[in-house]
């Protein structure tokens, strides 16, 4: 069984929580005691029907205010696939949550209320999906029951979105007309919309091809930890532990160690379950090398004939996450990239993006919460990186505030 | 030429992710420990840690917060596993916290040491100068856990602030902290109960016998099947019955309920979990105290 991770976005009240509740309910992920608990809560709130949306409302503060305020993760499985949902709220102020949810997802579901059509928020969500390089976007046109399951309304929304999305870079967009409340086209094809010839949402999620999301070409192995057993049996063992970021490694491969540049060969790929004949993302393994070379955490093992960029001047798109501080030129941060941490200074703010219109904002160099734009950093020692477009694992960074230790920005290297 | 398939089975994916988290923890903290309850989730964490650092031994000790209200089988099992892993074990005792006056035993028939564990846990973390405590909690267990991070930040009082959690992006985990603060680390965040059972089966892991069906004296209190042990007082109106049961989680014997079950092998259990209509925490009286019981306890520093 393989794994699909997706994120959900929509404006408030588009029916996101209802849809997730529906998926979990119809795939029998909801247990009796959970159902009883939400029936009880629904009754207390005076709701007539049991409110499936309550299932995804995690924390007390949110229940009290009736809103979702953070990213929450949900799980369900069908005989075909295991699914992880990053459930992120659609409020205007929560761009950062969608960025967070999208960073680990293969696919985004964007909800549109059939009565309202494509809104400013919809464009924003689509922009974030494209910025984070989600390969697949599913546009669920929800509440079709409230527009008499009208094909014309659906078609108009498809046209509208397609026009807008032509300015973005999204490989695969699928449109599905649904009613989350009544279940139309969620798990099974709906009889109410015979004009719709595509598959149901769940069928699509079960069958969408997730292979191309991973880079199997550029072999990169950031060293996380050095294994040196203090035992007689493994006295000379020196294993480099880590998770393959991309590409494929095999024993005998010619490799280089960065930053030293030394070349050697992979001797063996170890795991408790025995030696492996190859390893690729997302495997966590330990490598041993033919030659004794001084290697530590933060170094990278790469194949000799295919090397990453090495540099100290980094050009990147960022999303600013902090509501306490702002980013400005000359500010200093800690950059975390693969298994490496370095210091950095902001050398230039190139522009910010108005994420509703996609226009550049050129002469404002201060980033506030949820703002997205392009900056340049100078880092204290070289990073070994690829562009985010090519390689998510070696093209992504986070910025950390030196004083509060908070994660203040997400960055995608250009 | 045959085309190479790079698809990865979901258990393999989860295993690799958890190993990655364990190695990050070893690298980013000075003094991490694994909180080991003897339950199936912490047994899986111990196995993953063994894999993460093999052929070296675990770079951190196991810590058991002992309520003194254990099922004997769990302690036996713990000691055996520690020996097998060649690991260090440290025990924080709730009884000791009570004797020292750090904690006060609850009164009444529903008295449990579950809340007191938090005091002992925080004291133990402080005494041992632990800056990262690795636990087996999963996000699918309970609604307040659904928002928990892999690296979960705690302030100097050990408290969790759900509104002030660090966002986690890609594979980049920020474990930086100020003096006195610590982290809880949850490598099984993305696992479901089913994943855990399938993994136990795949890895052929041993479990304490109480997970499998057996006969036992129980009473039914607040809808929960409680084992009759030295630690609970049977009330006059409560009837002791012999039932065929097993436990779905292992915790304090005063509040962990059994389920009626004839599942005596892993395959039976997996079939039962697949058909189950109750979440596993549904058998825990401590969560039934109020709708937000778990969230309230977590804020105070509970696991
Ligand atoms: N008629 C109808 N109402 C819906 C549908 N989906 C959601 N709703 C209702 O719309 C409201 C907002 O839904 P909710 O799931 O809480 O929205 P969220 O803010 O996006 O999570 C609730 O009253 C739902 O019952 C639908 O397909 N049809």
> Which residues of chain B does A338 touch, with a Cβ-Cβ cutoff of 8 Å?
171
- Give the pLDDT score at B5: 66
CATH superfamily of this structure's domain A3-213? P-loop containing nucleotide triphosphate hydrolases (3.40.50.300)
Sheet strands side by side (includes B89-93): B89-93, B62-66, B32-35, B132-134, B182-185, B151-154
Flag whether B2 is in a domain.
Answer: no
Cα diameter, chain B: 76
Does domain A309-413 correspond to CATH entry 2.40.50.140?
no
Flag whether B212 is in a domain.
Answer: yes
- Give the pLDDT score at B233: 78
Check if A286 contacts B (Cβ < 8 Å).
yes
B33 & B132 share domain: yes
CB contact under 8 Å between B54 and A227, yes or no, is yes
What tens-digit pLDDT sequence spans chain B (303 residues)? 445 567 778 999 999 999 999 999 999 999 999 999 888 999 999 999 999 999 999 999 999 988 777 788 888 899 999 999 999 998 887 777 777 777 777 776 666 666 777 878 888 888 888 999 999 999 888 766 777 899 998 887 777 776 667 889 999 999 999 888 889 999 999 999 889 999 999 999 999 888 998 888 888 887 778 887 777 777 888 888 898 888 887 777 677 788 888 888 999 888 887 776 555 555 545 554 454 555 555 555 555
B43 & B183 share domain: yes
- For domain A220-303, the CATH architecture is Beta Barrel (2.40)
CB contact under 8 Å between B55 and A231, yes or no, is yes
What is the extent of the structural domain holding B151?
A: 10-194
* DSSP state string for B182-202: EEEE-TTTT--HHHHHHHHHH
Nearest CA owner, ligand 1 atom 7? A15
Q: Which of B194, B216, B237 is the last residue of a domain?
A: B194
Pocket of ligand 1 (CB under 6 A): A 10, 12-18, 53, 142-143, 145-146, 179-181
- Measure the CA–CA gap between B167 and A31, rounded to whole angstroms: 29
- Measure the CA–CA gap between A278 and B7, rounded to whole angstroms: 13
ipTM of the complex: 0.91
In chain A the first and final C-alpha atoms are separated, in Å, by: 34
Q: Which of B139, B171, B194 is the last residue of a domain?
A: B194
The Cα of A145 is separated from the nearest Cα of chain B by a number of Å equal to 30
B34 & B154 share domain: yes
B173 & B225 share domain: no
Question: What is the distance, to the nearest Å, from the Cα of residue B47 to the centroid of all Cα atoms in its chain?
Answer: 14
Is the pLDDT score of A144 beyond 90? yes
B239 & B101 share domain: no
Angle at A27 between CA A23 and CA A28, to 5 degrees: 115
3-state secondary structure string, chain A? CEEEEEEEECCCCCCHHHHHHHHHHHCCCCCHHHHHHHHHHHHHHCCCCCCHHHHHCCCHHHHHHCCCCCCEEEEEECCCEEEEEEECCCCHHHHHHHHHHHHCCCEEEEEEECCCCCCHHHHHHHHHHHHCCCCEEEEEEECHHHHCCCHHHHHHHHHHHHHHHCCCCCCEEEEEECECCCCECCCCCCCCCCCCCCCCHHHHHHHCCCHHHCCCCCCEEECCEEECCCCCCCCCCCEEEEECCECEECCCCEEEEECCCCEEEEEEEECCCCCECCEECCCEEEEEECCCCCCCCCCEEEECCCCCEEEEEEEEEEEECCCCCCECCCCEEEEEECCEEEEEEEEEEEEEEECCCCEEECCCCCECCCCEEEEEEEEEEEEEECCCCCCHHHHEEEEECCCCCCEEEEEEEC
Q: Which of A26, A42, A53, A179 to mutate for ligand 1's pocket (most ligand atoms within 8 Å of CB)?
A: A53
Instruction: List the domain boundaries for chain A.
Output: 3-213, 220-303, 309-413
Count CB pairs under 8 A between chains A and B: 176
How many structural domains comprise chain B? 2
Maximum average pLDDT range among A61-70, A91-100, B239-248: B239-248
B-contacting residues in A 134-193 (Cβ below 8 Å):
none
Task: Give the residue from B10, B24, B138, B167 with the most A CB atoms within 10 Å of its CB, the best one to mutate.
Answer: B167
Query: What's the pLDDT band for A405 if we cut at 50, 70, 90?
Result: very high
Is the pLDDT score of A250 beyond 80? yes
- Give the pLDDT score at B56: 94
- Give the pLDDT score at B296: 58
Is the pLDDT score of A59 beyond 70? no
Task: Give the residue from B53, B143, B152, B249 with the most A CB atoms within 10 Å of its CB, the best one to mutate.
Answer: B143
Q: pTM of the predicted model, to two decimals? A: 0.90
Q: Which of A15, A23, A153 to mutate for ligand 1's pocket (most ligand atoms within 8 Å of CB)?
A: A15
B179 & B103 share domain: yes
Do domains A220-303 and A309-413 share one topology? The answer is yes
- Give the pLDDT score at B53: 96
């Amino acid at each position: 069984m393989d794994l699909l991770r997706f994120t959900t976005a929509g404006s408030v009240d588009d029916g996101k929580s209802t849809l997730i509740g529906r998926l979990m309910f119809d795939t029998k992920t909801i247990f009796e005691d959970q159902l009883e608990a939400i029936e009880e809560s629904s009754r207390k709130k005076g709701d007539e029907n049991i409110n499936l949306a309550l299932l995804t409302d995690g924390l007390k503060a949110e229940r009290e205010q009736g809103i979702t305020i953070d990213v929450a993760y949900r799980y369900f499985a069908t005989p075909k696939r295991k699914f992880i949902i990053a459930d992120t709220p659609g409020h205007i102020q929560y761009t950062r949550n969608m960025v967070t949810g999208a960073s680990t997802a293969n696919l985004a579901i964007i909800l549109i209320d059939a009565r309202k059509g494509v809104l400013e928020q919809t464009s924003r969500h689509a922009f974030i999906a494209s910025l984070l390089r989600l390969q697949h976007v599913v546009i669920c046109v929800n509440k079709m029951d409230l527009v008499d399951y009208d094909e014309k309304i659906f078609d108009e929304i498809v046209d509208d979105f397609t026009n807008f999305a032509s300015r973005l870079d999204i490989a695969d967009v699928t449109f599905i007309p649904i009613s989350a409340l009544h279940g139309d086209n969620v798990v099974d094809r709906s009889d109410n919309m015979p004009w719709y010839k595509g598959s149901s949402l769940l069928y699509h999620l079960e069958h969408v091809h997730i292979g191309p999301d991973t880079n199997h070409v550029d072999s990169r192995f950031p060293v996380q930890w050095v294994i040196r057993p203090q035992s007689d049996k493994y006295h000379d063992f020196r294993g480099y532990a880590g998770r393959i970021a991309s590409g494929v490694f095999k024993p005998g491969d010619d490799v280089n160690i960065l930053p030293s540049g030394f070349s050697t060969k992979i001797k063996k790929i170890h795991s408790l379950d025995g030696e492996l004949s190859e390893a690729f993302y997302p495997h966590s393994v330990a490598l041993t090398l033919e030659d004794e070379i001084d290697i530590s955490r933060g170094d990278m093992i790469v194949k000799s004939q295919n090397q990453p960029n090495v540099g100290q001047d980094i050009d990147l798109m960022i999303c600013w996450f902090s509501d306490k501080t702002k980013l400005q030129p000359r500010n200093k941060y800690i950059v975390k990239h693969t298994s490496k941490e370095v210091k950095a200074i902001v050398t230039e703010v190139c522009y910010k993006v108005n994420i509703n219109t996609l226009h550049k904002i050129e002469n404002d160099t201060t980033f506030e919460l949820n703002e997205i734009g392009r900056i340049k950093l100078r880092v204290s020692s070289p990073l070994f990186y690829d562009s985010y477009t090519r390689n998510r694992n070696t093209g992504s960074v986070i910025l950390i505030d030196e004083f509060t230790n908070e994660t203040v920005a997400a960055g995608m290297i250009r | 030429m045959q085309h190479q398939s790079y698809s990865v089975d979901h258990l393999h994916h989860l295993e690799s992710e958890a190993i990655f988290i364990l190695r990050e923890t070893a690298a980013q903290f000075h003094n991490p420990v694994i909180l080991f309850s003897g339950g199936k989730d912490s047994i899986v964490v111990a196995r993953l840690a063994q894999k993460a650092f093999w052929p070296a031994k675990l770079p951190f000790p196991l810590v058991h917060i002992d309520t003194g209200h254990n099922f004997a089988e769990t302690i036996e099992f713990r000691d055996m596993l520690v020996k097998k892993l060649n690991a260090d074990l440290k025990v924080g005792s709730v009884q000791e916290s009570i004797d020292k006056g750090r904690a006060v035993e609850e009164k009444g028939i529903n008295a449990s040491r579950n809340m007191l564990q938090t005091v002992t846990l925080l004291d133990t973390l402080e005494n041992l100068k632990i800056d990262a405590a690795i636990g087996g909690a999963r996000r699918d267990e309970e609604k307040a856990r659904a928002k928990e991070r892999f690296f979960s930040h705690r302030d100097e009082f050990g408290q969790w602030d759900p509104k002030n959690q660090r966002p986690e992006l890609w594979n980049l985990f920020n474990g930086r902290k100020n003096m006195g603060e610590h982290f809880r680390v949850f490598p099984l965040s993305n696992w479901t109960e089913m994943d855990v059972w399938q993994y136990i089966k795949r890895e052929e892991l041993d479990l304490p016998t109480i997970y499998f069906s057996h006969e036992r004296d129980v009473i039914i209190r607040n809808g929960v099947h409680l084992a009759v042990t030295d630690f609970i007082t049977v009330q006059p109106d409560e009837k002791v019955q012999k039932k065929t049961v097993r436990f779905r989680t292992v915790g304090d014997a005063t509040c962990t309920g059994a389920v009626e079950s004839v599942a005596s092998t892993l395959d039976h259990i997996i079939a039962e979990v697949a058909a189950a209509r109750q979440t596993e925490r549904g058998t825990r009286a401590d969560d039934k105290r109020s709708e937000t019981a778990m969230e309230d306890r977590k804020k105070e520093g509970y696991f």
